[in-house]
Structure 1
């Protein structure tokens, strides 16, 4: 190992231990490094009750969450350059796209593997207006 790597790792470990010692001595009920309340981060909205990454899932998560909650979403680009919130590269994994456009399936190399499905880059935002999310 190079000396600079060892030095950097040592500095990081010292900082982590110092923050942990500070948190243990804190009067705060929150066992975070700062003593502040932890952030609430929802990925995909309120999945399990609504389809993942759907507008209903995000709206419900915001209505029922604590103030300052953070929503994290996956964004896929359409053929015409619009971003849509969708949990997967392949639209057929979480939507009814195959029912709407049965003959528009394509194949692309994904991480070195030829993958077949319906991909957002093959559809315009207008094309996707008739497509609905479904439960995973």
Structure 2
């Protein structure tokens, strides 16, 4: 029988809100590439965020999803045409190509593409230039430059169901880097619950429970994220996690009547790292738009400043340079 979960001791607050480069400096380079991570580091990010998914031969690579149809040039490789398929992942059907059907050597023959070409046309100039990095390569880059890593375990229940569980592999790679303590420059995040509870048993690295403004964990561990965001739900999260990563819409710090989530989380002993702060008008509240073009950059620094004033302990952004400037202005 597994040991019962116990509440972790409260960690001291970090000296300043941490800046997490969401998939790297993904506002300027195709996401989850070493180039995006390197630029984020240059711009002053404290942590770089790789979403990790497995290959057919058990390696962890950095991709937003295991479906690589839109983020690589796989469709241009005739040798892989027969691997296009349809799968049901977390209750949703997806058609395309998937990392778990490729060896690492095969994935390394592909090149990354911009995921949001209509909103970020300038990033398309970098299409075809960068390979898919392994998690080990991301760790090595972070250690070289003295920054942290903030990996997200994607679809852990699904991958376990097909014989490619990722949690133990993730912990093993962190341990190989010498990172297995609460003081390590690492946060592990997940939208699911059960895998975070498992991770709580096998590593001392800080864990972050991700939450969305709608829906529920895919592992069925809770009826809704809304229920998890209540004072009672947050106290339960504090039994296995160091903090939460809510959709910023769950906080609404830039609105006249913000939600009480930050204060409730802090009372439960949890830190708060909301996601995701993006500069394009399309992602900003209307009062922070500049002009009417959805692709134009609005007043992202004002939005970040509102959340910092509200008391967040860190934040995810695609634009680390803007995030650093906003934080420095506080």
Query: Alignment partner for residue 84 of structure 1, among 61, 86, 98?
Result: 61
Q: Which 4+ runs in 1 deviate beyond 4 A?
A: none
Structure 2 unaligned residues grouped into runs of 5+: 1-11, 116-330
1:82 Cα shift?
Answer: 0.4
TM-score scaled by structure 2?
0.29
Greater Rg over alpha carbons, structure: 1
Q: Cα distance 1:93–1:34, how it changes in 2: closer, same or farther (>3 A)? A: same
Pair 1:51-2:30 in alignment: yes
| Secondary structure at 1:62 match in 2 | helix
Counterpart position of 1:128: 107
Consecutive unaligned residues in structure 1, runs of 5 or more: 1-32
1:35, CA displacement in angstroms?
8.4
Say yes or no: does 1:112 pair with 2:91.
yes
* Paired residues of 2:55 and 2:102 also in contact (CA < 8 A): yes
Residues 60 and 110 of structure 1: CA distance in aligned 2, closer, same or farther (over 3 Å): same
CA contact (8 A) 2:72 2:110 kept: yes
Shift of residue 93, structure 1, vs aligned partner: 2.0
RMSD: 1.8
Per-residue deviation at 1:103?
A: 2.4
Number of residue pairs matched by the alignment: 102
Range with bigger deviation, 75-84 or 107-116 = 107-116
C-alpha distance in 1 between matches for 2:102 and 2:88: 18
Q: Report the equivalent of 1:62.
A: 41
TM-score of the two chains, using structure 1 as the length reference? 0.68
Deviation string, structure 1 residues 78-130 (Cα, Å, up to 9, x no partner) = 00000110111201121111111222101211122332110000000011111
What residue in structure 1 maps to residue 72 of structure 2?
A: 95
The separation in 2 between residues aligned to 1:130 and 1:35, in whole angstroms, is 41
Tell me how far apart the structure 1 counterparts of residues 19 and 65 of structure 2 sit (CA, whole Å).
23
For residues 13 and 98 of structure 2, the distance between their equivalents in structure 1, rounded to whole angstroms, comes to 42
